[in-house]
A and B are shown apart, each in its own frame.
Chain A
């Protein structure tokens, strides 16, 4: 609110005069914790100066969410109308962000069926359905290359993995990655490059979870074929790679995958020369984090940690610990989207997901295909956070501090990223827009955009 103290949303009241509106305002204002976010170079059209503010948009979205939740069709509709006019899908980054949330709210209203009128528009909404793009593998590689969003994690993880597996003759990498093995070529290359030609290169085993769910970015290629490409590539780098897909899903905490790995450990107990690397790249937050005892009411951040022992997410980490991995890398987006309260989640998401929208201008031109894919994936995410509940709501990001706690209580100790890793990441960031930054937090690395945490990278070994 700081920049706009002179023009608080009064104009709103002139346009849409509804009783429930103003009483709501004070309630909304009380927990605004993100007000200091900078909105650099924020272009507002002259007509919509007051509305174009991100804070104002957030307010409106919160109002709208409340109206939908309280079944207030008229109010919801009016706010939707206002939002629709101030947040065109082809506007600036804030407007597009708000538009994505708007769509998500409509989807929610339609899904919940609480508002008959909106439910009636379910059909229309279905047509709003986001056209998430199915990437060809080459497209995906190019896509991921555009921004440090994933490359940061790749670079940091590769570096720490490379260090940890030094001297092993067999390296088993379990790649739980949202990006369909996009990290693997550089890792293979790094391992191959390290060979001096005298020693035989290590045998590489790559195990991936063949998830059945569709979470963007989606690949139009089967993992089998993807694997054969990787095997082929590794061979070209003089590395023997064994590729394996284990059908397994995050919904049950990769139970099947864990089971298979466990069996393998039992069968080959003497695999002392095999390094086991668990590489988790933006995948673990899809594992349900809700605890089993108090499933329904608020698992606010404090309670969910204390009872986290029984959440699927923590059980997964415990199971991973049981595999005695050489190193575990956890890279994920640094935000909290686990709140059971819609408004809280909306605020949290709004105050995190502006970042991808803000960064996009630095690497993709307006109207480009890739940009549409990118934003469609963002829309998918927002819709999942806002419109879905229960097991369908899979975008359950947790902030770094909570992952650290989970890892510690699972029996891991954090490993510091070396100078090498930091240098690699820095060199990588130099290739991207100036807004990206690197932050060290204790042992961990954090990718930042204009000073805001974006993605964290942590590395773990057995405690």
Chain B
């Protein structure tokens, strides 16, 4: 390859520019990190090479003067010349560091014409030039699709005929039934059939806000934060235009209003509304009423904070996710968190905190729609019931978010610390169900401690002494199992929130 440059300028005489990137190419802005995976973000030190289209496209530029055979590379020509007993010279790799070269597209209007977006290899720029600016002269016999690059055409020819299905959401399927099943449930279909109303605002919401993902942020906090929000909310939010919403629920303000209406809480009314909305001709008025009913039911749910309303709303919102072109993962959550924090006494904010690290979508909703405080109270009532450890664990995570629960959880933590230091063995030995060394470890829950090696050692030491003091060993054992599994489940901290709820439900 090092020869290419020399030869392109000497042999073909058509190379136009060759210079060091530091001179011509404005070095990429210092603020932007080098991103290897973006096409055309060359090393600033690289040599930028610009070839004319003709040079670029010339296939066999290096021609043997004896037999006129052409070669793509000078090296190959040199090797060929040996056959004619001509003097030949293989260029040695110079021992000094090889300068990286990058190539710009000859097409002036192309983004890759800019040296800062030059491509890293000659073949790459060649293919790029063909594909984007060249003639498509390779045609598939079966489907008449045309390609500019022969290898593309070849690749296509191999799979042409094997059917491909593409949903509007961008997902590809090779099998019809996979596609059909996806299609039936994909929001793309719902949107397609629901679209068409000319109402500006709501249409806007519909089309653009498909990333219901983001909306996830609002409902449960909203629901649980109920009372506070409700006070300031007009009882008939029907008339509310979107922009006025933030006043009522600050959360929405930060998320951006548009998402909200897209996700009606699964109130029966909302459902029917929605159905009607789907089936009917989608006049603008019906659309309007849909959105208003959405708001209404949202507030309805928040006022009642009833178990019946809240989870579906939440899940519905979570469900959305869907659209791959809306990678909304972390940002909304982080930006939202503090707000919902201030807003609500519910566990929701902490949920989002942890869910943000995963993707929102995976977050299972808390089962019963109780506020964290209510849960805590309930837990306190249950006292030393065997299941409460899990509850507390849930709370340990949960409560860190809201100030009112904070104190409670502090207490619990304290208690744990005490019991951990003093009474573990005794408690366990006596079989008191609510106490245990496992607790603290579980509360801490750092995955690193569950490394198999360590566990084994632990167990060896403790487990062998099983007769005397089995507690530690056993707990460690169980903890380690739990830890491993928790890690595997990967939603550990978050899931525990759910499970606290579940246990609650079970035991109550």
Binding site for B on A (CB under 8 A): 73-74, 77-78, 80-81, 84-85, 88-90, 99, 102-103, 106, 110, 116-134, 136-139, 141-142, 144-145, 151, 154-155, 182, 184-186, 188-189, 220-222, 224-226, 228-233, 235-236, 369, 372, 375-376, 379, 428, 431
- A127 contacts across to B, CB distance below 8 A: 389-390, 393, 442, 482, 486, 496, 499
9 additional A-B residue pairs with CB within 8 Å, beyond A141-B184, A224-B268: A90-B487, A102-B481, A127-B390, A128-B481, A131-B495, A131-B498, A136-B322, A138-B322, A220-B319
Stretch at the interface among B17-25, B91-99, B173-181: B173-181
Q: Is the CB of B485 within 8 A of A89?
A: yes
Bound state CA distance, A226 and B312, in angstroms? 12
- B74 contacts across to A, CB distance below 8 A: none
> Interface readout for B464-488 with A: 1 if CB under 8 Å, 0 if not?
0011001101110111111011111
Is residue B149 within 8 Å, beta carbon to beta carbon, of the partner chain? no
Q: Is the CB of A124 within 8 A of B438?
A: yes
Q: Is the CB of B319 within 8 A of A124?
A: no
Q: Is the CB of B478 within 8 A of A137?
A: no
Is residue B332 within 8 Å, beta carbon to beta carbon, of the partner chain? no
Bound state CA distance, A18 and B33, in angstroms? 62
Min C-beta distance of A441 to chain B, whole Å: 25
Q: Is the CB of A131 within 8 A of B181?
A: no
Bound state CA distance, A126 and B481, in angstroms? 12
Q: Provided the pairs A131-B364, A133-B364, A141-B182 are in contact, do residues A77 and B475 lie with their beta carbons within 8 angstroms?
A: no
Bound state CA distance, A89 and B183, in angstroms? 35
- A103 contacts across to B, CB distance below 8 A: 481, 485
Q: Is the CB of B386 within 8 A of A122?
A: yes
Q: Is the CB of B499 within 8 A of A129?
A: yes
- B186 contacts across to A, CB distance below 8 A: 138
Is residue B456 within 8 Å, beta carbon to beta carbon, of the partner chain? yes
- A81 contacts across to B, CB distance below 8 A: 459, 463, 466, 473, 477
- A90 contacts across to B, CB distance below 8 A: 484, 487-488
Q: Provided the pairs A84-B477, A141-B181 are in contact, do residues A124 and B389 lie with their beta carbons within 8 angstroms?
A: yes
Tell me if A's interface is mostly helix, strand, loop or mixed. helix
Stretch at the interface among B46-54, B133-141, B271-279, B401-409: B271-279
Min C-beta distance of A457 to chain B, whole Å: 16
- B499 contacts across to A, CB distance below 8 A: 126-127, 129, 131
Can you list 27 residue pairs at the A/B interface with Cβ under 8 Å? A77-B470, A80-B477, A81-B473, A88-B484, A90-B488, A99-B484, A118-B474, A121-B474, A121-B478, A123-B387, A123-B388, A127-B393, A129-B390, A130-B485, A131-B491, A138-B182, A138-B321, A141-B184, A185-B181, A185-B183, A185-B185, A186-B181, A225-B274, A228-B274, A236-B192, A372-B488, A375-B488
Binding site for A on B (CB under 8 A): 174-178, 180-187, 189-190, 192-193, 266, 268, 271, 274-275, 278-279, 312, 315-316, 318-322, 361-362, 364-365, 386-390, 393, 427-428, 431-436, 438-439, 442, 452, 455-456, 459, 463, 466-467, 470-471, 473-475, 477-482, 484-492, 495-496, 498-499, 502-503
Q: Is the CB of B438 within 8 A of A221?
A: no
Partner of A117, one of B312, B439, B474: B474
Q: Is the CB of B431 within 8 A of A119?
A: yes
Q: Is the CB of A84 within 8 A of B481?
A: yes
Bound state CA distance, A73 and B468, in angstroms? 12
Partner of B271, one of A84, A132, A228: A228
Bound state CA distance, A97 and B58, in angstroms? 60
Bound state CA distance, A239 and B315, in angstroms? 29
Bound state CA distance, A271 and B275, in angstroms? 27
- B266 contacts across to A, CB distance below 8 A: 222, 224-225
Q: Provided the pairs A229-B185, A231-B275 are in contact, do residues A120 and B482 lie with their beta carbons within 8 angstroms?
A: no
Partner of B503, one of A126, A224, A230: A126
Q: Is the CB of A221 within 8 A of B463?
A: no
Q: Is the CB of B181 within 8 A of A182?
A: yes
- B439 contacts across to A, CB distance below 8 A: 123-124
- A133 contacts across to B, CB distance below 8 A: 362, 364
- A230 contacts across to B, CB distance below 8 A: 184
Q: Is the CB of A117 within 8 A of B275?
A: no
Q: Provided the pairs A103-B481, A128-B485, A222-B271 are in contact, do residues A122 and B387 lie with their beta carbons within 8 angstroms?
A: yes
Bound state CA distance, A26 and B477, in angstroms? 28
Partner of A222, one of B182, B312, B485, B498: B312
Bound state CA distance, A84 and B442, in angstroms? 17
Q: Lowest 4 CB-CB distances: which A-B pairs, in order?
A: A123-B389, A126-B390, A185-B184, A116-B431
> For residue B492, which residue of chain A has the nearest CB?
A131
Bound state CA distance, A129 and B506, in angstroms? 13
- A221 contacts across to B, CB distance below 8 A: 315-316, 319
- B275 contacts across to A, CB distance below 8 A: 228, 231
- A137 contacts across to B, CB distance below 8 A: 185, 319
- Residue among A127, A128, A129, A186 having the largest count of chain B Cβ atoms under 10 Å: A127
- A110 contacts across to B, CB distance below 8 A: 386
- Residue among B176, B312, B489 having the largest count of chain A Cβ atoms under 10 Å: B489
Q: Is the CB of A117 within 8 A of B431?
A: yes
Q: Provided the pairs A81-B477, A372-B489 are in contact, do residues A220 and B318 lie with their beta carbons within 8 angstroms?
A: yes
Min C-beta distance of A16 to chain B, whole Å: 9
Q: Is the CB of A77 within 8 A of B319?
A: no
- A123 contacts across to B, CB distance below 8 A: 386-390, 433-434, 436, 438-439, 442
- A134 contacts across to B, CB distance below 8 A: 315, 364-365
Q: Is the CB of A145 within 8 A of B181?
A: yes
Q: Provided the pairs A89-B484, A120-B433 are in contact, do residues A369 and B362 lie with their beta carbons within 8 angstroms?
A: yes
> For residue B488, which residue of chain A has the nearest CB?
A89
Bound state CA distance, A225 and B319, in angstroms? 12
Q: Is the CB of A220 within 8 A of B389?
A: no
Q: Is the CB of A136 within 8 A of B319?
A: yes
- Residue among A103, A128, A428 having the largest count of chain B Cβ atoms under 10 Å: A128
> For residue B386, which residue of chain A has the nearest CB?
A122
Q: Provided the pairs A85-B459, A89-B488, A369-B362 are in contact, do residues A120 and B471 lie with their beta carbons within 8 angstroms?
A: yes
Min C-beta distance of A424 to chain B, whole Å: 9
Q: Is the CB of A120 within 8 A of B436?
A: yes
Q: Provided the pairs A84-B477, A117-B428 are in contact, do residues A188 and B387 lie with their beta carbons within 8 angstroms?
A: no
Min C-beta distance of A76 to chain B, whole Å: 10
Bound state CA distance, A127 and B189, in angstroms? 40
Bound state CA distance, A121 and B434, in angstroms? 9
Q: Is the CB of A233 within 8 A of B271?
A: no
